Structure 1
Amino acid sequence: MNGLDLMPLFRGLLWTITLTGGAFLIGSVLAVPLLLARRSRVWLVRFVAMSVIQIVRGIPPILWLFIIFFGLGMGFLPVSPFGAALAGLGLIAAANMAEIYRGALSSIHFGQFEAANALDLGRWSTFRDVVAPQAFRVALPTAASYLIGLMKETAVASTIGVTELAFHGKQMSQLTFRGLEVYALVGLFYIALSLPVAWASRAADSRLRARVAR
């Protein structure tokens, strides 16, 4: 827009993308052992995993960032604003992705496992060739929606000093006194990030459905 320097917003955009991608990757990986614990045959392990998931999901993201940065970071384990945001959002992503994985696995009919057993498939072959493709197809739309939501949640990282998109938007608004224009631009940036994720998710889902149908 006329008279506005957009470079700070582009720099913030890069930090938003980095924070979103990093937190989602951490969450996707940590969700696997959390899921295994959630589905354990040992009730105590299941109870602990369920409790962790409920506690993590029940506390607002901004409070987790405050706990890590102002609590642990200031007293026990010094951490940068970006590191605290990455840890907090990654932890939240792990709890949410574990539930997404669990829902996807629960959607697979038990007959699929019986059929694999009848074909004398090993546990790894059953998971790789039977369970994983179906579970991935079920989990993909929900995971993509969560990724978009996570990207918007990164805005809370500005409260602890992470110079992401919302942080630069606030600074630019205060410096230029053109808040409506600035925040409209920030909103367009978030939309521009969300649309490719939604499109890629729909395209991948269509391909997977076509492959299953063959």
Structure 2
Amino acid sequence: MTEILTPLMNIGQYFIALLKGVPISLAVTVSAFLVGAILGIPLVLMRRSQYWLPRTLARVYIDVIRGIPPVVWLFIIFFGVGSSIIAFTPTQAAILGMGMISAGYLAEIYRGGFLAIPPGQTLASVALGLTRIDTLRFVLAPQVLRVSLPAMATYFISLLKDTTVASTIGVRDVMMLVTQQAQAAGGGFGPFIAAAVIYILLSIPVAAFARVMDAKLRQRVSR
């Protein structure tokens, strides 16, 4: 009995210790997501532009930013740009790097939302005399947001897991504390089990939100 309870008690201790890193992990994830959500708007507008130059620039940015691993971007920003141009703290570099990456992914999610809207919406807006800006603000944007919410929630979960690479540049998030706990325990896997539980618990509310939004969207579409 003792052989079973002892590992469980150790995992419980690791779990409590790792909770100290949850606020940092959430702060980096939420901040990077907000940066990406904002930067993704001009990106998707450039992708939809009738001129080839902004379309090409946006496409190149999205392809490059998504084609390079996140940890490489963090090293470039923190050890490259941060050491010679602008001094970033590890947390700032993580938010900036993951935010830039998020912008590329969220721009594509937005673009999918635009593609899901029937062309007749735009034609009807023109017939009503709305300007392109008013059509975007009052007709297209609300529908794009509604269609994109489930995919955005799903990406948020992915971003929460991807931000674990921030520990490589010194961010004291859950993953850095996991590494420290594992080293102190002599390489045991208990801290990693505790970390897995934490990330599952953090992901469940977002996953539930994504399923609810997807169900509501399907109901509205089927009407």
Instruction: Please report the TM-score for the alignment, with normalisation by the length of structure 1.
Output: 0.91
In structure 2, the partner of 1:203 is 212
How much does 1:49 deviate? 1.2
User: Are 1:157 and 2:166 counterparts?
Assistant: yes
In structure 2, the partner of 1:180 is 189
Maintained 8 Å contact 1:38/1:45: yes
Output the CA distance in 1 between the equivalents of 2:29 and 2:120.
37
Runs of 4+ in 1 over 6 A off after TM superposition: none
The change in CA–CA distance for 1:127 and 1:212 in structure 2 (over 3 A counts) is: farther
How much does 1:123 deviate? 4.1
How much does 1:194 deviate? 0.9
Maintained 8 Å contact 2:117/2:143: yes
Maintained 8 Å contact 1:137/1:205: no
In structure 1, the partner of 2:32 is 23
In structure 2, the partner of 1:61 is 70
Q: Secondary structure at the match of 1:2?
A: helix
When structure 1 is superposed on structure 2, of 12-21 and 203-212 the one drifting more is: 203-212
Maintained 8 Å contact 1:16/1:164: yes
Alignment identity in percent?
A: 44
Alignment length (residue pairs): 214
What is the identity, as a one-letter code, of the residue corresponding to 1:15? Answer: I
Maintained 8 Å contact 2:153/2:210: yes
The change in CA–CA distance for 1:118 and 1:34 in structure 2 (over 3 A counts) is: same
Q: Secondary structure at the match of 1:205?
A: helix
How much does 1:199 deviate? 0.4
Output the CA distance in 1 between the equivalents of 2:130 and 2:47.
25
5+ residue gaps, structure 1:
none
Which residues in structure 2 correspond to 1:1-214 (within 5 Å)? 1-3=8-10, 4=13, 6-123=15-132, 126-177=135-186, 179-211=188-220
When structure 1 is superposed on structure 2, of 168-177 and 57-66 the one drifting more is: 168-177
Maintained 8 Å contact 2:77/2:93: yes
Output the CA distance in 2 between the equivalents of 1:102 and 1:148.
20
1:126-176: per-residue Cα shift (whole Å, max 9, x none)? 445542343223212221111111000111000000000110011011112
How much does 1:203 deviate? 1.7
Give RMSD over aligned pairs.
Answer: 1.9
Q: Secondary structure at the match of 2:189?
A: helix
5+ residue gaps, structure 2:
1-7
